[in-house]
Structure 1
Amino acid sequence: MKKEMGIFDILYVLAKRRTFVIVFTLLFAIGAIVYSLLAPKHWVSKAVLVPVEDSGNVFGALDGGMLGMRSGSLLGGMQRDPAVEFVSIMQSRSFREEVVKEFDLLRYYKLLDKPPLEAMEKAVFRLGNKMTHISTDQESKLITIKVETKDKLLSKNIAQYYLDSLQEYLSTKRGSKSKMQRQFLEEQVSYTKATIESLAVALKDFQKENRAVGLDEQTEALIGLYGESVAQYYKAEIEYEVAKQQYDSNSAVLADLARRRDVLAGKVKELESSNSQLVPSYIPQISRIPDLSMQYAMLKINLEIQKTVFEYLYPQYEIAKLEEARDMPSYDVLDSPSLAGLRSKPKRALTVVVITVMAFLLACLLAVIMENLQVTHRDQMDRVLGAFKRKTPGKE
């Protein structure tokens, strides 16, 4: 019957087969040392960020106003955990594909000989499950991004790219009602501002072309000049009619009054014409005053209307920008990615120690098994020889 081995039996076997145990363990230890020295080094770059939550202090002064009403009607019931949202964005497939393309990870993973779709699928999987590790702490809301590659600079650049791409996504691609309102008001403000500038230029050109710098004052000056000329004409006409009663038709006095009357009549007629030389260049022609007044009034009215619209729109636009800033999630970077000072793997000392210990235990197990096999084989041989001797006649 086979006897069970005790602790002393095991120690005896190990002492007996110590050469095998030592050689076996040394071979594995040397192999572990060689592996740890030749294995490619990996480097980790880490970034830590925390979402910035709106405390409401900045917008407290606007409570009860337009911003408060908009916040209550548009943003109510849309509370989301920024940390979970940030992690979901960075773990999305489209986000990872951008990282693969940006850093040519198909070449890094040696997948260029694969079909494009298969290569991208494998690269995205390895990026998300082996190269990058994104985690969040539910209590502190800290988000940790770890990137591990064979190049310390590549690890740092990928981690930084995650931060930059996240910020770009939040600022340009993430849609919200407040953002759409801000964009709409921004377009309206830009259009109104351009209209005001266009009307101002048109008004300036109109005044320059028609010499209508101050149309009311210019009209008053022209009317004064015209009225004075007409009054002088009527005065000369009256003097001429009175002189006709006193002087003969061939009188020199009557002839002078007639010439003076005719000159004044021509002056009045010229003032009423559109090309009068008697009107200064800075005063519009009297025949054009009604049309100029109408055109000038329309330009002024349109300009004032657009100014009023702009005065209403611009405060709304500023409020929309503040609301968008409040609605837009953001984060603070607590630890920026940096070049790793220590490799993450291989851990040479740990690797050598673990493999050496496991090799020693395996060597001990093999030594015990070999001893048991040898003992079993010897017992079987002894039984065979004993049986053979019993069947053979003995000598006397």
Structure 2
Amino acid sequence: MNRDPNIRDYIAVVVKWRSIVLFNVITITVLAVIVSLVLPKKYTSTGRLLPPLLSGESMGVSSNISSMLSGAGLPLGMGATPSDLFAALLKSRTVSDGVIEGCKLRSYYGKKTMTETRKCLSGVTRIDVSPEGIISISVTDKDPNMSAKIASSYIKHLDKLNRETSMTVGKRNRLFLEVRLNEIGLELAAAEDSLRAFQERYHILSLPEELKQAVSVMSSLLARKVTKEIELGMIGMYATEENPEVVRMRRELKLLDEKIRDMGYEPDSTGFGVGVSLPLRDVPKASLRLARLMRDVEVKQKVFAVLTEQYEQAKLQEVRDTPTVEELDKPEPPEKRSFPKRTRIVIVAFVLSLFVGVGLAFFLEYTDRIKDKEEGGRWQKIGEDLKRGIFKKPKGV
């Protein structure tokens, strides 16, 4: 009668084949120890960078570079953060080639081509961005000093690329703003001349208080609109229509247009519409004309002031040579190896060898029992044949 096996049956199988299990465990574990001792040591040096938004100086720089990269079609993604941007720059061929040349990695790795050297460098480098935006650059090498040198070189060339791009963007913005400043300056001078000529002709120097307030509000809105249009044109030099910054600015311009229309302003009109509670029929035509001229002058003055400030910032950005990357942890030569992890290798080998040994024991037990059943079946058949031969009745009886 067959019964279900229990834990004692399993233990009995392992005990029966204990020599096989022990041999397997000891052999594989000893081999793992030898391999862990023979494997070459490797060391990992890690440097960490603060998120660009926290490092102040790189805040505007990363925005400019992001626009340029997005405009060039590089896959940063709609939800890409400044830290993701820096990680993409670190993985770029420009930075990699700078690291290779700076650390002489082509001869160090013994490679004939830059392509092969880049693959080697990529294989020993890991760049991660934490949920908090901290950027980690980890480099693994057989020499702890070289691993730290390569990691430091990554940071150095990231900063170099960032500053060069910032200067390029600054120069481009300066030239663009220079042209617009000259145009606005001429328009402002013409508007001021028209206002002065009108005041001298009609001897009207001021406006009713309510009309003066309307002029101030409308001029502020129009100045913001003109400034946004200029900024959009500046970004449009290196960004596509799908760029998030371009989309944001177009949305802001649309809101400004709606607000200006709500006040009843029309570009070719002579009045201020529903933005002024004072009925237009009660306002002399000369006062309305003066209001328009004063509005135009105020718009030009405000735009000119904003563009002048941006122009000075672009000039500073063009010549700025300060670091744009802030290190949280500088790469240092590691004191302990990162590979091989001998304890882990030996423990894993021991556990695997134990499972393999026990599995082999049950396999051997199974084959042994199959063999016994086959042998028993043969002897049973022989016995039955003998019985039939012995007790068989003779013919003719």
2:350 to 342, 350, 356: 356
Instruction: Please report how far the alpha carbon of residue 381 of structure 1 lies from its aligned counterpart in structure 2 after TM superposition.
Output: 1.0
Cα distance in 2, alignment partners of residues 56 and 353 from structure 1: 48
The reply to whether residue 336 of structure 1 matches residue 319 of structure 2 is: no
The reply to whether residue 133 of structure 1 matches residue 126 of structure 2 is: yes
Alignment of 1:117-196 (within 5 A): 120-128=114-122, 130-138=123-131, 140-174=132-166, 176-180=168-172
Instruction: Please report how far the alpha carbon of residue 328 of structure 1 lies from its aligned counterpart in structure 2 after TM superposition.
Output: 9.1
1:93 counterpart residue number:
93
Task: Give the 3 Å change call, closer, same or farther, for CA 392–100 of structure 1 in structure 2.
Answer: farther
SS at match of 1:338: coil
Task: Give the 3 Å change call, closer, same or farther, for CA 3–366 of structure 1 in structure 2.
Answer: farther
The reply to whether residue 377 of structure 1 matches residue 376 of structure 2 is: no
C-alpha deviations, 1:183-206, integer Å up to 9, x for none?
Answer: 8999xxxxxxxxxxxxxxxxxxxx
1:28 counterpart residue number:
28
Report the structure number with the largest CA radius of gyration. Answer: 1
2:385 to 375, 385, 391: 391
Instruction: Please report how far the alpha carbon of residue 181 of structure 1 lies from its aligned counterpart in structure 2 after TM superposition.
Output: 5.1
Instruction: Please report how far the alpha carbon of residue 83 of structure 1 lies from its aligned counterpart in structure 2 after TM superposition.
Output: 1.6
Contiguous gaps of at least 5 residues in structure 2: 58-63, 72-77, 179-308, 392-397
C-alpha deviations, 1:268-308, integer Å up to 9, x for none?
Answer: xxxxxxxxxxxxxxxxxxxxxxxxxxxxxxxxxxxxxxxxx
SS at match of 1:44: strand
Contiguous gaps of at least 5 residues in structure 1: 58-70, 187-314
Cα distance in 2, alignment partners of residues 55 and 47 from structure 1: 16
1:43 counterpart residue number:
43
2:19 counterpart residue number:
19
Instruction: Please report how far the alpha carbon of residue 344 of structure 1 lies from its aligned counterpart in structure 2 after TM superposition.
Output: 0.8
Instruction: Please report the TM-score for the alignment, with normalisation by the length of structure 2.
Output: 0.53
Q: 8 Å contact 2:166–2:318 — kept in the other structure?
A: no
1:366 counterpart residue number:
360
Cα distance in 1, alignment partners of residues 56 and 117 from structure 2: 43
Q: 8 Å contact 2:21–2:358 — kept in the other structure?
A: yes
Cα distance in 2, alignment partners of residues 106 and 388 from structure 1: 79
Cα distance in 2, alignment partners of residues 381 and 104 from structure 1: 73
Q: 8 Å contact 2:128–2:137 — kept in the other structure?
A: yes
SS at match of 1:392: helix
2:229 counterpart residue number:
none
SS at match of 2:360: helix
SS at match of 2:335: coil
Instruction: Please report how far the alpha carbon of residue 178 of structure 1 lies from its aligned counterpart in structure 2 after TM superposition.
Output: 2.3
Q: How large is the Cα RMSD of the aligned pairs?
A: 4.0
Task: Give the 3 Å change call, closer, same or farther, for CA 55–106 of structure 1 in structure 2.
Answer: closer
Instruction: Please report how far the alpha carbon of residue 26 of structure 1 lies from its aligned counterpart in structure 2 after TM superposition.
Output: 0.5
State the number of aligned residues.
245
Instruction: Please report how far the alpha carbon of residue 96 of structure 1 lies from its aligned counterpart in structure 2 after TM superposition.
Output: 2.0
Alignment of 1:69-88 (within 5 A): 81-88=81-88
Letter in 2 for 1:358: L
SS at match of 2:355: helix
Instruction: Please report how far the alpha carbon of residue 97 of structure 1 lies from its aligned counterpart in structure 2 after TM superposition.
Output: 3.3
Letter in 2 for 1:83: S
C-alpha deviations, 1:92-142, integer Å up to 9, x for none?
Answer: 123223333444445555544xxx4xxx444423432x311111124x321
SS at match of 2:334: coil
1:322 counterpart residue number:
316
Instruction: Please report the TM-score for the alignment, with normalisation by the length of structure 1.
Output: 0.53
Instruction: Please report how far the alpha carbon of residue 329 of structure 1 lies from its aligned counterpart in structure 2 after TM superposition.
Output: 8.6
Cα distance in 2, alignment partners of residues 347 and 141 from structure 1: 29
Task: Give the 3 Å change call, closer, same or farther, for CA 389–98 of structure 1 in structure 2.
Answer: farther
Cα distance in 1, alignment partners of residues 367 and 109 from structure 2: 48
Letter in 2 for 1:172: E
Cα distance in 2, alignment partners of residues 56 and 9 from structure 1: 71
1:277 counterpart residue number:
none
SS at match of 2:128: strand
